[in-house]
Each structure stands twice: as C-alpha cells, then as structure tokens.
Amino acid sequence: MGETGDDSKTLRELLSPITTNPPSCIVLLATTAAHFELKPQIIHLLPTFHGLDRKDPYMYVKDFLEICATCKFQNFTDESVRLRLFPFSLKDKAKTWLNSLSPGSITSWELLVTKFLS
C-alpha cells in the first residue's frame, strides 16, 4: 500500500467506482438563459467523428458547422452552441482525445478547432 503514497484510504474506498465527473476541458461561455435543454433530436442531427484515419476532419468540421448554423437558442451565441454540442458529436478515439485535454484548456471555438485539426 505504501507504493501509491495513499495510505489514508480504505480498501473499500479504493475499490469504489468514481462517482464524480472530472472537469471538462471546455470552458462554457456565460449566458443569461434561465433554462437550457438539448433535445435528443438535435444531438442526432450532428455528424459523428470517430477519429479514424480514413475520415477527413476538415469535412467533419464543415458538416458540424452547417448543422450548428440551423440551431438557434435564445441568449446563446453561435460559439456557445458549438462548444456545447461538439462533445456529443465525438465517438471512440476522438472522444478519448477530447477527454484527455487538460480541464479548462479550451476557451473558444477557434482554439478547439485548432487543437482538433492538429
């Protein structure tokens, strides 16, 4: 037990599933909306990107922006909508990549696209 440097936790605590979500890498922009709900129909419209070599990430971003342009939410900027929807469109390797980014490291749509395309 001394190897991990965490002698204060019981075996039960160490084996318990993690019940908290780690902080997101995406910092969501402030909004004045009192209520916001993403309907499943909107999420199903999004193109998906799995991170496979044969898929063009530039075409994916183009398709993603086309869908986002059709979604308008009161008191939300286009950038805020994009940042909120983007994680729902990633799957497999691409989702793993997004989750590997440092918490709070994405502060704008431009930065997210730059990191995604690199």
Of 89, 85, 80, nearest in space to 108 by CA: 80
User: Is 77 within the bounds of a domain?
Assistant: yes
For residue 60, being part of any structural domain is answered with yes
Q: Is 1 within a domain?
A: no
Instruction: Spell out the per-residue pLDDT of the chain, length 118, in tens.
Output: 445 555 677 877 777 776 667 788 999 877 777 777 888 898 999 999 999 888 999 999 999 999 999 988 888 899 999 999 999 999 999 999 999 999 999 999 999 999 999 9
17 neighbors 63 (Cβ within 8 angstroms): no
pLDDT for 38 equals 81
Residue written as token pair 């009192």: 34
Q: What is the pLDDT of residue 9?
A: 77
* Alpha-helical runs (H) found in the chain: 11-15, 40-45, 57-69, 78-89, 92-100, 109-117
Q: Is residue 6 one of the residues assigned to a domain?
A: no
Residue range(s) defining the domain that contains residue 77: 11-117
The reply to whether 2 falls in a domain is: no
Tell whether 4 is covered by a domain. no
pTM value is 0.76
Domain total for the chain? 1
